[in-house]
Amino acid sequence: MENVSMYCETTADLVLAGGVIASLSAADAPAGAVRIDGSGLVALPGLVDLHTHLREPGREDAETIATGSRSAATGGFVAVHAMANTTPTADTAGVVEQVWSRGREVGLVDVFPVGAVTVGLGGTQLSEMAAMANSRAQVRVFSDDGKCVHDPLLMRRALEYVKTFGGVVAQHAQDPRLTEGAQMNEGLVSAELGLAGWPSVAEESIIARDVLLAGHVGSRVHICHLSTAGSVEIIRWAKARGIDVTAEVMPHHLLLTDESARGYDPRFKVNPPLRTQADVDALRAGLADGTIDIVATDHAPHPDEDKDCEWGAAAMGMIGLETALGIVQKTMVDTGALSWRDVARVMSETPARIGRDSGHGRPLAVGEPANVTLVDPSAAWTVDPAGTASRSNNSPFGGIQLPGRAVATFLRGAPTHLDARFAENRHEGAPA
């Protein structure tokens, strides 16, 4: 790749060979090497998503590991963490090894299974965490995502347990009693629409409890999908006290508000719900100042029958692997809140560090793994859910124009996604 902009800072050539970055000078490229003109493109370490739902096993009608991996590669990702709420639940060594093995067979991204904290996500009995950690999948992230580990004693035991193998508990912060029947953010819009509200305190109270528990036992806790201004303040407070907490925000929570629900369009129904503009502003500020560590997608595919219905009956969640980068550019880069170097940190380096993903989130330097995402920051494209690589198309962004797009993704030097300009060249014998 010649004349690429490294992190949008300096221009260099990237020579990929033997699965690593072999040189930063095209003069060192071997004879016959495929050459790509990278002028105007930004090179980043391959993106890593700490929060993906691949649905396999059990809901292959919504997504498979193959289709989800293709969608991830199209979005610029080289690794994803597959959440445990599958059928059967990923709460045993056998299931996580099945997911891990299928990911290797597909080979488009590295699939790291997330192990369930509790058996069947039931919230009453710890799962076989050590067995999953010691399996071939080497699980290091544990979560009941979709459900909260609401029992404080069970949460404490989980935090103590993961310490023994360097794991982390990723909490879906939602007090179940405070959100019974909740359909959207509790506030003026929910009152006007007549929909049951999901109050901010249901998220914030669990986060406050869990950071205190993590501090008490000296363990790592990661908070999934922050959505409120109060949550950002609690994370900021906890970090100031030295508690080992990390947190993530989703692209849709950086862009959309609960005003989106006014049309009763279930594509905007998500958990945690879309909040207010004040919450969006706080999340953006928290990501910019480092309080929030990473951007993750919460890619949640659903078949049409689970979304093409009235709001109250619709499933929660939206797909997001292919729109994440564009939304981050729109909300954070183009507004001056983040640089492309920062994007590498929040979408590659830090998620890989939290997940203990060997070989990912590494700098673009000679000798490092050739996991690279090429971004065209000047691209302006209109989201077309029907054209997604995902098996599902439940995106609320259809028809919205976004900037920035991943035009090429390389996993250990092998192209896993090439947009049309490069794909056409391949047929002519250029890029391979």
DSSP E strands, 2-83:
4-6, 10-12, 15-17, 20-23, 42-45, 47-52, 77-82
Is position 55 annotated in a ligand binding site?
A: yes
Is position 253 annotated in a ligand binding site?
A: no
Is position 145 annotated in a ligand binding site?
A: yes
Cα torsion angle, 283, 287, 289, 293, sign: positive
Angstrom distance (rounded) from CA 70 to CA 67: 5
Is position 302 annotated in a ligand binding site?
A: yes
DSSP state of 121: G
Is position 85 annotated in a ligand binding site?
A: yes
Angstrom distance (rounded) from CA 423 to CA 417: 9
298 is catalytic: yes
**DSSP conformation letters of 255-273:** H--GGGGGG--GGG--SSP
Helices within 289-371 (DSSP H only): 304-307, 324-328, 340-344, 350-355
| CA distances from residue 227 to 104, 174, 314 in whole angstroms, order as listed | 33, 11, 20
Is position 298 annotated in a ligand binding site?
A: yes
404 φ/ψ angles, rounded to the nearest 5 degrees:
65, 135
* Annotated catalytic residue within 49, 298, 306, 357: 298
The amino acid occupying position 54 is L
Residues in the chain: 432
Q: Are 295 and 247 in contact (CB under 8 A)?
A: no
Q: Are 48 and 347 in contact (CB under 8 A)?
A: yes
Angstrom distance (rounded) from CA 20 to CA 234: 40
CA-closest candidate to residue 55, choices 87, 9, 32: 87
Question: Pairing between strand 141-142 and 110-113?
Answer: unpaired
- Could you tell me the end-to-end alpha-carbon distance of the chain, in angstroms, rounded to an integer? 12
Question: 30 burial class (0-12, 13-18, 19+ CB within 10 angstroms)?
Answer: exposed
Is position 222 annotated in a ligand binding site?
A: no
| Tokens found for residue 78 | 């080289």
Is position 384 annotated in a ligand binding site?
A: no
Is position 394 annotated in a ligand binding site?
A: no
Is position 150 annotated in a ligand binding site?
A: no
Is position 3 annotated in a ligand binding site?
A: no
Position of tokens 């649905």? 55
b/e string for 187-224 if b means 16 or more Cβ within 10 A? bebbeebebebbbbebbbbbbbbbbebbbebebbbbbb
| Tokens found for residue 412 | 């250990």
Binding site residue list: 51, 53-55, 85, 145, 172, 225, 271, 298, 302
Report the catalytic residues: 298
Binding site residue list for Zn(2+): 51, 53, 145, 172, 225, 298
Binding site residue list for substrate: 53-55, 85, 271, 302
